[in-house]
Structure 1
């Protein structure tokens, strides 16, 4: 992935294509809005509802994918994530999803 330009539409939609990543990014968006841009989320809080399987997927799939695109800054030593240098590029899509759940297709089991 070329990090010199902006996130492509395909990359942004791919990042949002997984329900767990969307939940994580929405939680980070809400925390970012409350904390004036210094959002931090403990990774263990993200995994507590999904058990060990979710924890493994976070550590081996979701967080590396989000970190490699610059959307999150994963601080492994502190076991937390923060908004990354590219988070603002996803912010409009995240707000759209948050603000219009009634007109957008919902998640289906």
Structure 2
């Protein structure tokens, strides 16, 4: 990642955009179809149950479940971008949940 004020090289991501994307990925991982796909493909367990809040986010999960989700996320973005793109296509995930609430959308 490159911090504000530094020049980004061809394979570097500006830090603020990178953190925005990293914050969005757990929300994508919590989509039921993505969660099913990751569990099936990786064999990694997911959280025991969803938080009681209607629109529960990553931060609403107990710490043990957050660890499980971060382990799944590490698997999902391993071998970037092939595994991520392949699973999104296989599970029928469109662009919308990947960029919702992101304005402007990072490159």
Instruction: Give TM-score, length-normalised by structure 2.
Output: 0.28
Q: Which has the higher Rg, Structure 1 or Structure 2? A: 2
As a proportion of its length, which structure holds more strand?
Answer: 1
